[in-house]
Amino acid sequence: MAAPTTSVSHCKAHTVKSALRRPKTVGDVDAAMKEMDETYQTSFSDWIRSEANIGFVCTYKRQMFDRYMNEDAHTLSLVLCWMTQDWTVASIAEFMLKLFYSYKISSRRFTHLVAVVSAEWPAERKEEIVNVLLIGETPATSAQFIKHYTEGNYLRTRPHGDADDKLDEVPLKPWSNEDIVSLTTAVSKLLRWNDVFMMDFITEYAGLLFTDPVKKAKAVVTVLHEYENLSASATSMPDKSSHSTSRSQSEATLFDDDDSDASQVTSTSEDEEIQRRIAEIVRPKSGFRTMRESITFGMRIFAQMLEQVDSEESNDSVGAEKELTLQALNIACVDMYASTVPTDIKSMGPNSIAEKK
- For every residue of the chain, which 3-state class applies, written as one string? CHHHHHHHHHHHHHHHHHHCCCCCCHHHHHHHHHHHHHHHCCCHHHHHCCHHHHHHHHHHCHHHHHHHHHHEHHHHHHHHHHHHCCCCHHHHHHHHHHHCCCCCCCCHHHHHHHHHHCCCCCHHHHHHHHHHHCCCCCHHHHHHHHHHHHCCEEEEECCCCCHHHCCCEEEECCCCHHHHHHHHHHHHHHCCCCHHHHHHHHHHHHHHCCCCHHHHHHHHHHHHHHHHHHHHHHCCCCCCCCCEECCCCCCCCCCCCCCCCCCCCCCCHHHHHHHHHHHCCCEECCCCCCHHHHHHHHHHHHHHHHHHHHHHHHHCCCCCCCCCCHHHHHHHHHHHHHHHCCHHHCCCCHHHHHHHC
Place 268 in a pLDDT band, splitting at 50, 70 and 90. low
Q: Residue type for 296, please?
A: T
Question: Mean of the pLDDT values across residues 152-159?
Answer: 64
Q: Determine the Cα–Cα distance for residues 140 and 106; give it in Å rounded to an integer.
A: 9
Of the listed ranges 54-63, 77-86, 328-337, the least confidently predicted one is 328-337
Q: What's the rounded Cα separation, in Å, for the pair 221 and 269?
A: 18
Residue 103 half-sphere exposure toward CB, CA atoms < 13 A: 25
Average of per-residue pLDDT across 218-243? 62
- How much is the pLDDT for 218? 83
Higher model confidence: residue 202 or residue 246? 202
Judged by average pLDDT, the poorest of 26-30, 154-158, 202-206, 334-338 is 334-338
The reported pLDDT for the residue numbered 146 is 97
Lowest-confidence region among 36-40, 148-152, 279-283: 279-283
Please tell me the predicted confidence (pLDDT) of residue 9. Answer: 44
The stretch 163-187 carries a mean pLDDT of 78
User: What pLDDT score was predicted for residue 247?
Assistant: 40
The pLDDT, as a whole number, for residue 195 is 87
177, pLDDT greater than 90 = yes
C-beta of residue 78 within 8 angstroms of C-beta of residue 41: no
More confident residue, 137 or 67: 137
**What are the C-alpha distances in Å from 330 to residues 16, 93, 176, 262?**
64, 43, 34, 30
Cα distance between the two ends of the chain: 88
Indicate the angle between helix axes 177-190 and 291-315, nearest 10 degrees: 160
In this prediction, what percent of the chain has a pLDDT beyond 70?
A: 61
Share of the chain above pLDDT 90, in %: 38
More confident residue, 322 or 309: 309
pLDDT for the residue 131: 97
Instruction: Check pLDDT > 50 for residue 65.
Output: yes
- Give the separation between CA 306 and CA 38, rounded to whole angstroms: 52
State yes or no: pLDDT of 6 exceeds 80: no
Question: Between these two residues, 250 and 219, which has the higher pLDDT value?
Answer: 219
